[in-house]
Chain A
Amino acid sequence: MDTAKEKELLQTHQYWVASFMEDSSLDELDSILSHDIMGYGTTQDEKIFGREAVKNIIEIGRQQRRLFDNYRYDLEIVKKQISKKSDAAVIIAEINVSYSIDRNETLLPLRISTVFYYDEQWKVTHWHGSLGVKTDGDTWHQNEWQCEKERLQKLVDEQTAKLKKSLENLKATQSQLIQSEKMASLGELTAGIAHEIQNPLNFVNNFSEVNTELIEEMQEELKAGNTEEAISISDDIKENQKKINHHGRRADAIVKGMLQHSRNNTSDKEATNINALADEYLRLSYHGLRAKDKSFNAKLETDFDKSLGSVNIVAQDIGRVILNLITNAFYVVKKKKEQQKEGYEPTVSVYTKKKKDTITISVKDNGNGIPLAIKEKIFQPFFTTKPSGEGTGLGLSLSYDIVKAHGGELKVETHEGMGTEFTIILPNTEITKK
């Protein structure tokens, strides 16, 4: 007898049995199965033909085993016979399986007889599986096996129902988290908003006061009969009135933007001036941060591509992305400044660029950069490097989704110790030239 071939046979047999009994690799399975493989089982009168059917029954077994505790099996080869030419073989093996479900232990003796032939390597051409003899000497009957199957099916159904329920819970939690992330970023904005509203409000007050004075002057001029002078003053009043209106609307837009930012529903795309949007959020987040920490100062650099006109986007969503990137940038330069007081100037740059098919908005910081080990994770939901309670870990993940929903990309380039640059790339849907 060819001992090398025999050794090979035992290896193939072991691989074959393991495919059924363990979660072993199935990479080599095709090569050990005859293309016309047949199998029979007595448990439910199974008839299996072909490689795909074999793989299917292996997969069903694997799924069922996931419900088992303390699963183990041992294999004993009862009989092994190899033809004289070493070109065919039969192996009869007894396999004792034991597992428990809900602490109920089950012993399941199986018998698998396999026929092999040799064609450059050993291949399974036929097998027969049956339930063996129980430890108490009785045999397993078909209905007993059926009960076992039903018990397993019930368990699978219960587990599926539980999973469905927790999936629903997860979905509800997710939308709550998204909302709380929005509210958190709104909190970051509040101080900035207060500052930004203060400026237009000052103009409204000042120009109103000037107009009151001018009207008094105009009345005096009219009483004195100086019509020309009165007309000249009325021109100034008109001009100031326009300014009052302009700054009133500016404050109005900031409040509206704030409300939109916190709103839960998604809006339609609208023509938006990207440069103005980026500039607005840069100011808001800078003042927001400064309101929280007065000692913090950073150099702001902007370079807005003046050829960039209005682009069709959901302004509050892209605004949220820009805000998130800028807030993160300020956070990292602030951290670096705390570590390294001398010779470091925290700098955050925001710039826009128009290309043929795309427009880009970049936010760059000169912080510590993102370590390679976590670079892959930064867009994952709930990933955060901030201490617990400071970040939801959803900012970048939501940003990524928003940019994707616009048909764009959110890219990151980082150099450890040097800084990070995030770039929002959007398809160029420019509608009007500025």
Chain B
Amino acid sequence: MKILVVDDEKDVQLLFQQRFRKEIRTGVLNFVFAFSGEEALDIMKTMEQEAVLILSDINMPGMSGLDLLEKIRKDFEQPPPLVMMVTAYGDEENRNTAKRLGADDFLTKPLDFALLKSKLTTLK
């Protein structure tokens, strides 16, 4: 399964590559990175028929994480990707909206990488 990480903070890519360097090296986890909702949609189009987990930030300039979630749920039915949303601490409103729009799981910022690792590796 490919994991598509969506965040407008470009250093998130390096951070994930470092945090999960062992898992990446051994091929346990396979990451793809997008820096905006729009880019994420483009990447999704190239990965049709693949199993994908999307890990997306909400607050992004342009298309927000919630907009992306809505589009994903509408346009990518087969197979429906898993979507995990990253919300700011205490942002219940966005969490509820994401839940309503069909998010599968939530993570709170700052990311707990140990927790994320266990979630990602048990998903397999």
Contacts and interface: CB of A to CB of B under 8 A. Distances in A.
Interface stretch (B10-18, B38-46, B47-55, B74-82): B10-18
Interface in A42-87: none
A300 B62 CA distance: 6
B11 A243 contact: yes
Given A295-B93, A300-B62, A198 B109 contact: yes
Interface in A190-246: 195, 198-199, 201-203, 205-207, 209-210, 214, 236, 239-240, 243, 246
A252 to B, nearest CB: 16
B62 A206 contact: no
Interface residues of B, number: 21
A236 B92 contact: no
A301 interface: yes
A247 B14 CA distance: 13
B9 A199 contact: yes
By size class, the interface of chain A is 20 to 34
A236 B59 contact: no
Nearest to A247: B11
Interface in A84-140: none
B110 A239 contact: no
A240 to B, nearest CB: 6
A294 interface: yes
Nearest to A294: B93
Nearest to B17: A236
Interface in B75-116: 88, 91-94, 109-111, 113
Nearest to A210: B18
Contact of A202 (B14, B18, B19, B109): B109
A260 interface: no
Contact of B19 (A195, A210, A300): A210
Interface string B5-40: 000010100110011010000000000000000000
Nearest to B89: A198
A302 interface: yes
A198 B108 CA distance: 12
A287 interface: yes
Interface string A331-356: 00000000000000000000000000
A287 B59 contact: yes
Interface in A279-317: 279, 282-283, 287, 294-295, 297, 300-302
Contact of B14 (A243, A287, A301): A243
Contacts of B11: 203, 243, 246-247
A243 B92 CA distance: 31
B110 A294 contact: no
Contacts of A214: 18
B92 A294 contact: yes
Given A195-B59, A210-B19, 14 more contacts: A201-B110, A203-B9, A205-B110, A207-B18, A209-B113, A210-B18, A214-B18, A239-B14, A243-B15, A287-B59, A294-B93, A297-B66, A300-B62, A302-B62
30 contacts: A198-B109, A198-B110, A199-B9, A201-B110, A202-B109, A203-B11, A203-B15, A206-B15, A206-B19, A206-B113, A210-B15, A236-B18, A236-B21, A239-B14, A240-B14, A243-B11, A243-B14, A246-B11, A247-B11, A279-B61, A287-B59, A294-B91, A294-B92, A294-B93, A294-B94, A295-B93, A297-B64, A297-B66, A300-B62, A302-B62
Interface of B: 9, 11, 14-15, 18-19, 21, 59, 61-62, 64, 66, 88, 91-94, 109-111, 113
Q: List 10 A-B pairs, minimum CB-CB distance, nearest first.
A: A294-B93, A202-B110, A210-B18, A206-B15, A295-B93, A300-B61, A203-B11, A243-B11, A302-B61, A210-B19
